[in-house]
Structure 1
Amino acid sequence: MQIKHLRTFTAVASALNVTRAAERLHLAQSSVTEQIQALEADLGAILFDRSKRRLRLTDAGRRLLDHATDLLSLADEARSAVAELADQPSGSLTVGGLETLCSSLLPPVLTTFCTAHPAVAVRMAAAGSGELRSGVRAGDIDVAFVFGDGPPEDGVERATVARERLSIIAPPGHRLAGRNAVARDDLADEPFLVTVTGCVYRRMFDEAFPVAGVGRPRLAGEFGSIGAIRALVAAGLGCALVPECAAAAATGLTVLPWVGEADHVPVSMLWRRRRVQPPGLRLFLATVRGGIGAIRPDGGHRRCAERTR
């Protein structure tokens, strides 16, 4: 068995789709198919059931997946142990994050890291929280940044690297414009735009405005992205509760600091637990702790717009 074939197999097993696996691996679909066929020929077993529209793992495929994850982890650790001897770390590093964090918090840290370690090829991937977590567990993403603490996950390390203040964004000329801050009572029955249930941004809203709480705003609609919500707020459809760095990207809107029990949200960094971390990842984690530490996880920090300039 070749390591590259096992990596391709785990990518296909995770996506259950050759096209998506090929995009994740930056390979042609034909190459992915050839590698899976070569692995099946090597093992003398069919790994995927191709009889239906969606790929499914066979019993042999499920059994191999359990071992493939361990084998790939050991291969990474072996490579890392040898790389420790190199003067200049190299290799690749995939950094994932929510779109809001990729455009605000991460660029300064990536700039610092890439300047100090130019031989490490860095790739940034923006995705949702669930996709980021599964990517870390599968090894497709080396380190990811999400909002919220979340429950412990097997094989995944977690550290809170910042606390982001929450803000209310409102249409230009809103009745609350000019306020230093707003609280729940100021927003009673105000139309609000939210993301769908289960989204981390929706969780922020639900924690700030409990269903049974007094003064809960009126939901004016559910939308798929913070970018769409910002545009609709600008059009006058309603207000929204967003992290400060998302508010900083909103030009021409009324931005008001939110004051309440849930007025901050943690920013968490996730990475796989390994006996030996790849040098690039180990150095990146150190850079984050040194760079994002300036945001002061104790709650006091500068505006996100100031951090990214």
Structure 2
Amino acid sequence: MELRQLKYFLAVAEEANFTRAAERVHISQPGISAQIRQLENDLGATLIDRSGRSAALTAVGEVAFEHARAVLAAAEALRHALDEMNGLVRGRLVVGMVTACTVTPLFEALSGFHRAHPGVEISLVEGDSAALVEDVREGTVDLALVGTAGPAPADLDGQQVISEAIVAAVPPGHPLAGEDGVTLAELSVHPVICLPRGTGIRAVLDQASAARGLTPTVALQAAAPGAVVQLAERGLGVAVLSASMLTQHPRLRTVPIIDADIAAVLSLVSAPTRSPALRELLVHCRESFGAPAHKAPAPAGRGAAGQVGP
């Protein structure tokens, strides 16, 4: 009796059909039939009733089904335990990141992890922060770099990377260009260029404005911070981004938003898990990002972790 034969037996029992079971486990139909016959010979009992149109379990097969499932589960648990002991992490990880991400420590963490554990397949997906958070909750994404208004969701494991203020940015000659600061009320009378809903920066702007009974006039929006900057440079509105997103754009004058007291936070979030691969990736992330970068809600230069993403 072999483990693969038990796997084939479970497939036939669950599909109630030899052809579908063969497709599921990627073997020919005659091949899976022969393996089940060999298993029955080894056990000295008929497990599958082949007299009807579907492949049904016999009474003995019903008993064997539960034991076969337990044996395969135990074998899988043994493999994972030994992998952890030997440091041989395998599997697949889906990593999410905010659109137009330029946070290089994330890329460094992925690179270091890949070198250490080449047996793990890594898939990288982009999206807005709100959607990525839901993907992590649903289990379709293992780890995501997201921007939020304030701390990351409490139901997820999170590592804060950076926390800073949102600011306004305008070209020379704009009415706000000579100001040392602007309130959300003063900002609301100007057309605003910002990231779309679902991003952390936009959530900060909307929530801070709503807390004061205000609704910002978002005239234009773009998914990439660079596009927001270029639109503002051409005088189409006031850019609202995080402070670090604007440090490389001297053509815009940065103006603090003095009463936007909700921080734009960039965090790594994941669901609680026992996955050895994810645990190892988180170790590399902690090494790459280092200690969380905390910034007061006021304009500041680029932090060690790079700019805050959407």
Q: Which residue of 1 is the match for residue 190 of structure 2?
A: 190
Shift of 1:267: 2.2
Q: Is the 8 A contact 2:293 2:304 kept in 1?
A: no
Q: Once the 2 structures are TM-superposed, how far is the Cα of residue 242 of structure 1 from its aligned partner?
A: 1.4
1:204 aligned to 2:204? yes
1:244 corresponds to: 243
Over the matched positions of the two proteins, sequence identity in percent amounts to: 22
In structure 2, what is the equivalent of residue 232 of structure 1?
A: 231
How far residue 297 of structure 1 moved from its aligned partner, in angstroms, is 3.5
SS of the residue corresponding to residue 96 of structure 1 reads: strand
**Which letter maps to 2:302?**
C
Shift of 1:236: 1.0
Contact 1:145 1:268 in 2 (8 A): yes
CA distance in 2 between counterparts of 1:219 and 1:299 reads 26
Contact 1:183–1:258 at 8 Å: present in 2 too?
yes
Match of 1:296 in 2: 293
TM-score (norm 2): 0.59
Instruction: Assess, with a 3 A threshold, how the Cα gap between structure 1 residues 194 and 78 changes in structure 2: closer, same or farther.
Output: farther
Q: How does 1:51-66 map to 2 (within 5 A)?
A: none
Q: Distance in 2 between matches of 1:255 and 1:77?
A: 55
CA RMSD of aligned residues (A): 4.3
Does the 8 Å CA contact 1:162/1:266 hold for their aligned counterparts? Answer: yes
Matching residue's letter, 2:275: Q
Deviations 1:247-304 (A, max 9, x none): 3465633333433242522223221222x232x3213323333443444346489633
Q: Which runs of 5+ in 2 are unaligned?
A: 1-5, 12-19, 33-52, 55-72
Whether the 8 Å CA contact 1:167–1:247 is kept in 2: the answer is no
Structure 2 equivalent of residue 86 of structure 1: 86
Which of 215, 219, 222 is matched with 1:221 structurally? 219
Matched, 1:108 2:139: no
Distance in 2 of aligned mates of 1:248 and 1:80: 46
Residues 1-309 of structure 1: matches in 2 within 5 Å? 38=24, 80-87=80-87, 89=89, 91-100=91-100, 102-104=101-103, 107-112=104-109, 114-115=111-112, 118=115, 119-120=117-118, 122-148=122-148, 149=151, 151-153=153-155, 156-177=156-177, 181-184=181-184, 187=187, 189-197=189-197, 199-210=199-210, 212-213=212-213, 219-227=217-225, 228-248=227-247, 250=249, 252-274=251-273, 276-278=274-276, 280-297=277-294, 299=296, 303-304=301-302, 307-308=305-306
Whether the 8 Å contact between 1:234 and 1:252 is mirrored in structure 2 is: yes
Contact 2:196 2:222 in 1 (8 A): yes
The range that moved more, 162-171 or 224-233, is 224-233
- Greater C-alpha Rg: 2
Give the Cα–Cα distance (whole angstroms) in 2 for the partners of residues 76 and 180 of structure 1: 62
Number of matched residues?
241
| Distance in structure 1 (CA, Å) of the matches to 2:295 and 2:144 | 21
Conserved? CA contact 1:171–1:238, under 8 Å: no
Deviation of 1:207 after TM superposition, in Å, equals 2.4
TM-score by length of 1: 0.59
How far apart, CA to CA, are the structure 1 residues paired with 2:207 and 2:265? 13
| Partner Cα distance (1:86, 1:211) in 2 | 53
